[in-house]
Amino acid sequence: MFSEFLQYLFTGITIGATYALIALGFTLIYNASHVINFAQGEFLMVGGMATVSLTAMGVPMLLAVVLAVILAGVLGIALQRLAIAPAKNADVVTLIIITIGASIFIRGLAQLVWGKEYHVMANFSSDEPIQVFGAVLNTQSLWVLGVGAILVAVLVYFFTRTLTGKAILATSMNKDAARLVGIRTQVVLMLAFMVSALLGSIAGIVVAPITFTSYDIGIILGLKGFVAAAIGGLGSGMGAVVGGLALGVVEAMAAGYLSSDYKDAVAFSMILLVLFFLPRGLFGAKVVERV
């Protein structure tokens, strides 16, 4: 009985950590610009697909990862500079539609360049799973969790200890005030898109050995990341992490104990429950108050 529970938990936390990283990306951009960036999943796809195709061309794994992350970062900057910045007086809804257009465009390009097949990425370390109290843990899950934890720690440091991080935070609180104290808000916006793209692509790379990767993997993972961000209160970093983990665990538990047919429906009804009973999300209100 316990081993079953543990098995579901492992599954849930692994995929939940991925959701959390994507949700953090959503949150960053949402805070900086109030835009829900529907191209977030594409950063994930670019990370995974670029790594796979570079290693297939003979580039060493580590270098391929670095290049893929840089590519995603450049893409993030390009998205902000070329698509979001020029439409500066547009409604937030219009900006959201622009990100949808961008995601279709990026996906279309990926399909042209990399093709439509699914690709395999080898586990970073041993293929031999670890046995824990009768449950099985894939070594790659440890990588996902470890990398996720490091990224979160780096982000916390970035936002609380560095000037740039504080500038981004300040801009997200009040754009005009930030501008008044001399923060260049356009640069901040660009940074937010870049950091969010870096996060997404790293998530895409560490999770690729578990999920495989293809040109359209970003659609559903991006969406799940958005759901996680919404559960966490859209705008709270802590909320994104908890929302992601909660979503992953609930999905796995629902598949295990309730009905695999309706596990996704259970995940989506979590949004409704949170909105009905904790309208600011799990952590939304706290962050706003702290300011």
Partner 1 sequence: MFKTITRCASKFVAIAAVSLLAMNVHAADPIRIGSFLSVTGPASFLGDPELKTLQMYVEKINEKGGVLGRQLELVHYDDAGNASKARNFASRLIRSDRVDIIVGGSTTGATMAAVPMVEQARIPFISLAGAVVITTPVKEWVFKTPQSDYMAAVRILNDMKTQGLSKVGLISGTGGFGSSGREQTLKAVKEIGGIEVVGDETYSGSDTDMTAQLTNLRNVKGVDTILNFGFGQGPAIVTRNYDQLGIELPFYQSHGVASDGFLELAGDSAEGLRLPASPLLVPESLPESDPQKPVVEAYKSEYEERWDAKVSTFGAYAYDGLMLAVAAIEKAGTTDKAAVREALESIQGHVGVTGTFNMSADDHNGLKADSFRILEVRDGSWKLIN
Partner 2 sequence: MAQLSQFRLKGLLILAIVIFAVPLFITNPFHYGLATQIALIAGAVVGLNLLVGFAGQISLGHAGFFGLGAYFSAITTSTYGWSAIPALVVGAIGVAIIAWVVGRPILRLKGHYLSMATLAVGFIIAIILNNEREITGGPDGMPVVPFDVFGWELSPFGQYTLFGMEISGDLAWYLFAGVILLVAVWLAQNLIDSPIGRALRSVHGSEVAASVVGVNTAKYKSLVFVISAVYASVMGALYAHYQGFVTPAIAGFDFSIILITMVVLGGMGSTIGVIIGAVVLELLPQLLADFQDMEMVLFGLILMLTMIFMPKGLLPTAANLLAKRRKKSAGGDV
Which parts of this chain interact with partner 2 (CB under 8 A)?
Answer: 36, 83, 86-87, 89-94, 96-98, 100-109, 111-112, 223, 226-227, 230, 234, 261-262, 264-265, 268-269, 271-272, 275-276, 279
Residue 130: strand pairing partners: 137
| 131-170: contacts with partner 1 (CB under 8 A) | 136, 138
- Candidate ranges 28-36, 115-123, 188-196, 268-276; the one touching partner 1 (CB under 8 A): 115-123
Q: How many angstroms separate the CA atoms of 189 and 172, rounded?
A: 9
What tokens were used for 172? 């997200």
Closer CB to partner 1, 8 or 193, in the complex: 8
* Binding characters for partner 1, 261-280, by CB under 8 A (x = yes): x--x----------------
User: How is residue 213 annotated by DSSP?
Assistant: B
**96-130 burial, b if ≥16 CB within 10 A, otherwise e?**
bebbeebbeebbeebeeebeeeebebeebeeeeee
Q: How many angstroms separate the CA atoms of 50 and 44, rounded?
A: 10
**From 31, 211, 239, 284, residue interacting with partner 1 (rule: CB under 8 A):** 211
- What is the CA 116 to chain-centroid distance, rounded? 23
Output phi, psi for 119, to 5 deg: -125, 150
- Candidate ranges 37-45, 209-217, 271-279, 283-291; the one touching partner 1 (CB under 8 A): 209-217
State whether residue 119 is helix, strand or coil.
strand
By CB under 8 A, tell whether 186 contacts partner 1.
no
Residues lying near partner 1 in the complex (CB under 8 A) are found at: 4, 7-8, 10-11, 14-15, 111, 116-118, 120, 127, 129, 136, 138, 207, 210-212, 214, 216, 219-221, 252-253, 255-256, 260-261, 264
